[in-house]
Amino acid sequence: MVALVAVLTPGTASAAPKPDADKLRKQLTSLDKKVNTLIAEYHSAREDLAKAKTASKAVQEKLTKAKAEFAAAQREMARLAGLSYQSVPGNGGILLPPGMGMSPLAQQLGNEQAATVRNYKQKEKAQAQALAEAKDLVVQIDEKSKDIEKRRKEAEELIGDIKDKLDDLIPIAPGKLTNGGWAPQLPTGADNITSRTRLMREEAKSAFKLHNSIGCFRVDTSGEHPLGRACDFMMTTGGVMATGPAQALGDSLAAWALKNRLKLGVKYVIWRQRINSGTGWRFMSNRGGNTANHYDHVHISMF
């Protein structure tokens, strides 16, 4: 007995109204800008925090130095005072108040010591206040940076939710069978690719801001390209290895294709000399060059 395998027809089952894709994308754009702003604010706050900590440390060092200088001055005054007392005949080294036999030198040293104490107390008070203000500023900036980081994480969670909602709007590609497989397709249209490949390409263009070319059908290669079942999404031009934002975009596109592979009919993804058919990334042999090793483009093959 031959078992019949049905082909799923998208949109036949009744479902609740779906969210508007354009509105979701506008929210996503707004949140992306918000996250970028928060990231800039966070880095600025961390720089301010580092400066505040340096300033606090410098004030602390000044205060410590002032205390050490005052202690040294006190010791020197005591030493000189002791010598002067010894020079006063009959005082036995006892400190006498002015007018009661104290030598002029002892009086001078006493006045200088009093002035030193007053000067230190003023300096100590000012520096202690500056230190308290510096420490308070460190706490304020640290709390501010933590609040910014919290808001950034909340915004990124909302971005993740919106992306999930947008992924839910991706239709099931044509030709999906009830057993989970895919019906064979031939290339059609002026672009000479299958309808599944075309749907994947258009959904990718809607989901990402792709600034470079997308190459699908090619006759001068092997694999799925001549069959209209693969596309190369260029992250850079001129064979330059994708780094920074370009690499991050490639990472996101590859992850998106794998996440939605069962709906779109993705067979495998190649990116950065690795291949993934839904069971994890595996390294590939070196084919020589950034383009041959897929360091400048994401390759998506379809069933």
Mean pLDDT of 57-78: 78
pLDDT at residue 52 is higher than 80? yes
Token digits for 147?
A: 């609040």
CA 193 → CA 189, 257, 290, distances in Å?
Answer: 7, 18, 25
Let me know whether 104 and 215 are in one domain. no
Give the CA distances from residue 225 to residues 77, 241, 274, in Å, rounded to whole numbers and listed in that order.
93, 22, 18
Q: Could you tell me if residue 41 is inside a domain?
A: yes
Per-residue DSSP letter, 220: S
In total, the chain counts a number of residues equal to: 303
Contact call for residues 268 and 277 (beta carbons, < 8 A) = yes
pLDDT of residue 93: 45
Q: Is residue 215 part of a domain?
A: yes
Is a pLDDT exceeding 80 seen at residue 107?
no
CA 31 to chain centre: 15
pLDDT digit string, tens, across residues 79-93: 766 655 554 455 444
Question: pLDDT digit string (tens) for 208-231?
Answer: 999 999 999 999 777 899 999 999
Indicate whether 247 and 149 sit together in one domain.
no
Greater model confidence, 278 or 16: 278
Whether residue 187 lies inside any domain: the answer is no
For residue 13, being part of any structural domain is answered with no
User: In terms of residue numbers, what domain contains 31?
Assistant: 21-168
* Count of structural domains, the chain: 2
What's the whole-number average pLDDT of the chain?
Answer: 84
Does the pLDDT at position 272 exceed 60?
A: yes
Output the pLDDT for position 299: 98
> 63-77, 83-97, 111-125: which has the minimum mean pLDDT?
83-97
Could you tell me if residue 7 is inside a domain?
no
- The pLDDT, as a whole number, for residue 56 is 82
Highest mean pLDDT among 55-59, 151-155, 210-214: 210-214
The answer to whether 165 and 19 are in contact (CB under 8 A) is yes
How large is the average pLDDT for residues 110-117?
73
The verdict on 226 and 110 lying in the same domain is no
Q: What is the CATH number of the domain that holds 87?
A: 1.10.287.620
pTM value > 0.75: no
Residues 230 and 155 in one domain: no
| Per-residue tokens: 22 | 């354009």
